[in-house]
């Protein structure tokens, strides 16, 4: 009897393990195809030139600049609002209806489909606020979308600050605000940055929210102000793969752009992971 049960356990554990391996295999498969078919397209010229010959040749510099500026705009919107919201929720708020409502707002904002953010950005930022298709409108849309991630990460970081820090500061006569400004926030800073990088890496790869708010099919010039429209890496992949002038002939450009986007996003994730493990080591001492 016992033997039979242990056998069942072995079989089922093996299937669990297989499931876990399957995920890894799927990720490796995608990466394999992107790297093996994309790396040949990447060269110095590819990274530093504008697209040429109606986007069948040349590079992706405007897309890299566009995605970077959209990310910076996103950060400028989401970081201050996100950190302040987290400070309120973690340091000031007491459990009650108000906090329930705020949390409901954050949770539901996190669940809103990305294309709905795009619709909202189009109707509100582009049309009502008259920003048009621009870095400002796209960045604001992405910023609102990233907000829940940054609030979550900042709260986590604030929670990790030991209460003794706060009590020590209070004991020296500091007010709550002084404590937050001089003790809690500096201690939570690395955690907040880590979370923000993760949130930004998601924003960098999003396409649907910027399709009609920030990114355009093609623009030969680099952006001069935040009210300019830009090209963006993820949208460029979509455009080349579905609506380019010669879809088959630009395959290598598509793989190359996808690989650059993957490297950008993974690079940001890697930076965040390294930062996090460094932080953990520091806290242990």
Site pattern 231..260 for another protein (x: CB under 8 A): ---xx-xx--xx--------x--x---x--
Smallest separation, CB 112 to another protein (Å): 6
Site pattern 19..58 for another protein (x: CB under 8 A): xx-xxx-xx--x--xx------------------------
CA distance 204 to 202: 5
157, 184, 208, 226: residue in contact with another protein (rule CB under 8 A): 208
CA distance 86 to 4: 52
59, 66, 118, 139: residue in contact with another protein (rule CB under 8 A): 118
Smallest separation, CB 181 to another protein (Å): 9
Phi, psi of 230 (to 5 degrees): -135, 165
CA 9 to each of CA 16, 18, 20, 240: distance values in angstroms, whole numbers, following the listed order: 10, 14, 17, 50
End-to-end CA distance of the chain: 50
Site for another protein in 136-165 (CB under 8 A): 144, 147-148, 151
230 belongs to the binding site for another protein (CB under 8 A): no
CA distance 145 to 270: 22
49, 56, 68, 114: residue in contact with another protein (rule CB under 8 A): 114
222 belongs to the binding site for another protein (CB under 8 A): no
Residue 76 structure tokens: 């400028």
Q: Would you tell me the crossing angle of helices 61-87 and 251-284 to the nearest 10 degrees?
A: 30
15 belongs to the binding site for another protein (CB under 8 A): yes
81, 160, 222, 227: residue in contact with another protein (rule CB under 8 A): 81
Element (H, E) at 243: helix 233-243
Smallest separation, CB 121 to another protein (Å): 9
Residues for the chain: how many in total?
285
């Amino acid at each position: 009897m016992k033997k039979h049960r242990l056998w069942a356990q072995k079989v089922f554990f093996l299937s669990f393990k297989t499931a876990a391996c399957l995920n890894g295999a799927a990720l490796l498969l995608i990466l394999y195809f992107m790297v093996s078919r994309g790396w040949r397209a990447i060269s110095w010229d590819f990274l530093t030139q504008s697209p040429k010959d109606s986007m069948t040749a040349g590079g992706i510099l405007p897309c890299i600049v566009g995605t970077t500026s959209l990310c910076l705009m996103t950060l400028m919107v989401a970081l201050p609002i996100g950190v302040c919201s987290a400070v309120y929720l973690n340091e000031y708020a007491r459990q009650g209806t108000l906090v329930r409502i705020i949390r409901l707002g954050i949770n539901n904002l996190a669940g809103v489909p990305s294309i709905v953010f795009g619709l909202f950005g189009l109707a509100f930022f582009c049309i009502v606020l008259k920003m048009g298709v621009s870095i400002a409108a796209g960045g604001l849309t992405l910023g609102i979308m990233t907000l829940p991630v940054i609030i979550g990460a900042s709260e986590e970081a604030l929670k990790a600050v030991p209460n003794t820090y706060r009590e020590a500061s209070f004991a020296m006569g500091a007010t709550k605000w002084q404590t937050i400004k001089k003790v809690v926030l500096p201690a939570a800073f690395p955690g907040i940055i880590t979370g923000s990088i993760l949130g930004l890496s998601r924003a960098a790869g999003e396409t649907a929210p910027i399709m009609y708010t920030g990114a355009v099919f093609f623009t030969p010039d680099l952006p001069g102000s935040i009210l300019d429209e830009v090209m963006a890496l993820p949208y460029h992949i979509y455009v080349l793969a579905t609506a380019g002038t010669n879809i088959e002939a630009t395959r290598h450009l598509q793989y190359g752009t996808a690989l650059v986007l993957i490297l950008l996003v993974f690079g940001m994730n890697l930076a965040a992971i390294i930062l996090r493990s460094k932080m953990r080591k520091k806290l242990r001492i």
